[in-house]
Amino acid sequence: MNLILLGPPGAGKGTQAHWICEKLGIPQVSTGDILRAARKDQTELGKQAETYMVAGKLVPDEVVIGIVQERLKETDCLEGYVLDGFPRTANQALALKETLAANNTQINAVISINVPDDLLVTRLCGRRVCSQCGASFHISFSPSKTEGVCDQCSGSLMQRKDDTEETIRERLNVYHEQTKPLINFYKGENVLQSIDGTGEISDVWSRINNILGK
Ligand code: AMP
């Protein structure tokens, strides 16, 4: 199954993608994670992406499309994958469609997670991520047992550089202008399923699980 998780920053795409991947035994392909890893390693890609990411802007289409095309060629993607954070523009969606069609394959489902902007800002401002394993926490909604320490691997928790209020507002503007129109694109492709992304993580997961089937 080839799946896309569509939604604004802070909708919970990463968390839900992780659970979907565990259930279906397929990999999570997150362009944000790939770009953050490249930044950490200070590769050419990482250096190129850094200015865009810190400002809350999108990394240019040709760069991100190339990353995804290469990643989807890897053997672990043969049985399917969950795309998390890609596509984010009409050009990316069209390039993906063409790439898949050239390999006689397609996207089977797009799950669009809806969350109001105000709640997204609250979620992102309080988000803390583990610098080692990437697990995500929230200072009020899902705090770690010990402040600043990851429950899963004891790594130190940090705030993402783009989780500041100004950058969050910019990322939301970018979402509304460039990514939200993809909801209509995938409606037209008859693969769109929309869900309410508010409430507990486990509630959102049950809604997704219902779509995936038992
Ligand atoms: P995310 O972790 O998905 O919120 O992505 C973090 C940042 O990485 C975004 O704000 C963008 O700067 C960049 N990024 C991730 N995915 C894409 C994409 N599909 N297109 C362009 N930029 C992206």
Q: How far is the CA of 53 from the centre of ligand 1 (A)?
A: 7
For a pLDDT cut of 90, what percent of the chain falls above it?
96
Q: How far is the CA of 212 from the centre of ligand 1 (A)?
A: 25
Beta-carbon contacts of 117 under 8 Å, excluding residues fewer than 6 positions away, are: 8, 172
Residue 134 has what pLDDT? 87
Q: Which residue of the set 36, 123, 127, 128 is catalytic?
A: 127
Q: For the chain, which residues make up each domain, given as ranges?
A: 2-26+79-116+166-212
- The predicted-structure confidence for 86-135, as pLDDT tens digits, reads as follows 999 999 999 999 999 999 999 999 999 999 999 999 999 999 999 999 88
Q: Is the CB of 197 under 6 A from ligand 1?
A: no
From residue 177, give the alpha-carbon distance in Å to each of 76, 94, 171, 174: 33, 17, 10, 5
| CATH architecture of the region 2-26+79-116+166-212 | 3-Layer(aba) Sandwich (3.40)
Residue 214 has what pLDDT? 62
Residue 213 has what pLDDT? 85
Cis peptide bond upstream of 87, omega within 30: yes
Residue 125 has what pLDDT? 95
Of 29, 35, 54, 129, best ligand 1 pocket probe by most atoms within 8 Å of the beta carbon: 35
Residue 167 has what pLDDT? 93
The low-confidence residues of the chain, meaning pLDDT below 70, are 214
